Amino acid sequence: MNTSRSPLPVRVVALSGGVGGARLAAGLQQILAAGHLTVVVNTGDDFEHWGLTICPDLDTVLYNLAGIHNPETGWGRADESFQVLEEMERYGGEVWFRLGDRDLALHLRRTEWLRQGLSLTEITDRLRHMWAVPSRILPMCNEPVRTLVHTDEGDLPFQHYFVRRRCEPTLVALSFVGGEQARPTPDVLEALAEADLIVFGPSNPYVSLDPILSVPGMRAAIQRAPGPKVGVSPIVGGRALKGPAAKMMRELGELISPLTVVDHFGDLLDGFVIDQEDAALADAVILPTLVTDTIMVDGQAQARLAQEVVEFGLSLPVHPQR
């Protein structure tokens, strides 16, 4: 709990993928007044596995906001067991994607609700209420969008690239299958329109934030949103804190730098947050820049970074409606 200050009555929308974005979202939830945080989550990592619909980023955000995530990995549940996984191996099922027993109950229930015709938004809202999470967690869209990774070894569904192949194949390009038919949900559009601040979390720009931005109408909704937009760099000192962002940048012929992230999001951002390790780059960032310690080692660091990001964001000159 953020004991040092009173909760901020600031409506924040955070765009998030998995672990990095979820950690900042948990920090924002600590410092904002209850109900003032909305997290818009990437669903491009979703896939069908064991006959179930798995939504890793939605679950990672849910578990982090509920405080029940595995602190070592950032994803999956704490105090987890893998009895089902062990038995699945006996039956020749796929075991490269480690689904724990507690986690499995959620996938079973979500798949059942999807079959009953509930939307992913409705399902996610039921789950966050069951964990008494005060923040809204919104899938970017209700339609299925699947990130396809085009590599030098062929096309791989995202989890097969990310987990099964541990990101080894060389990235050539990315596509978001089903994206054309997707639309931002009414809840997402309303949250963006009402936000006092929009935060692009420290997530992988290519496979966590781009799928969100690629939903037709999403970029325009963000651009016309009245609140300032602040990005937080997922690259610190030439490396990604988690995941393949740096390797992807290199394979896409980009510099491994916060500057690449700023360029990538172009005119969507009003301000940018970089780590003190990259302080020398601050003058090269074409946006107002906050230089601070962005390494979220624990809950307190998450809350401190969140507080600084919010204060920085609210200090930015708000562009006239673009």
Query: Which of 13, 17, 128, 246 is in the footprint of ligand FO1 by CB under 6 A?
Result: 17
Least spacing, CB of residue 46 vs ligand FO1, in Å: 9
Rounded CA separation 175/290 (Å)? 32
Structural tokens at position 266: 């172009």
Given 13, 31, 39, 56, the residue binding ligand FO1 (CB under 6 A): 56
Residues 263-282 within binding reach of ligand FO1 (CB under 6 A): none
Q: Which is nearer to ligand FO1, 19 or 285 (CB)?
A: 19
- Among 41, 59, 104, 262, contact with ligand FO1 (rule: CB under 6 A): 59
Residue 210 engages ligand FO1 in binding (rule: CB under 6 A): no
181 phi/psi in degrees, rounded to 5: -85, -5
Q: Which amino acid is at 41?
A: V
Cα dihedral 200→186→116→114 (10° resolution): -20
Task: Decide: is 157 part of the binding site for ligand FO1 (CB under 6 A).
Answer: no
64 interacts with ligand FO1 by CB under 6 A: no
Q: Would you state the structure tokens that stand for residue 139, as one six-digit string?
A: 């899938």
Output the residue with the shortest Cβ distance to ligand FO1. 18
What is the contact mask toward ligand FO1 in residues 87 to 126, using x (rule: CB under 6 A)? ----------xxx---x-----------------------
196 binds ligand FO1 (CB under 6 A): no
With respect to ligand FO1, which residue has the nearer C-beta, 65 or 99?
Answer: 99
Asked if residue 163 binds ligand FO1 (CB under 6 A), the reply is yes
Rg of the chain on CA atoms, in Å: 19
Which position has the token pair 């990995």? Answer: 73
Q: Is residue 244 part of the contact set for ligand FO1 (CB under 6 A)? A: no
Count of alpha carbons within 13 angstroms of residue 35, beta-carbon side:
0
DSSP string, 138-192: EESBSS--EEEEEETTEEEEHHIIIIISTT-SPEEEEEEETGGG--B-HHHHHHH
Establish if 50 lies at the interface with ligand FO1 (CB under 6 A): no
- Kindly report the number of other CB atoms within 10 A of residue 224's CB atom: 11
Which residues contribute to the site for ligand FO1 (CB under 6 A)?
17-19, 45, 56-57, 59-60, 75-76, 97-99, 103, 159, 162-163
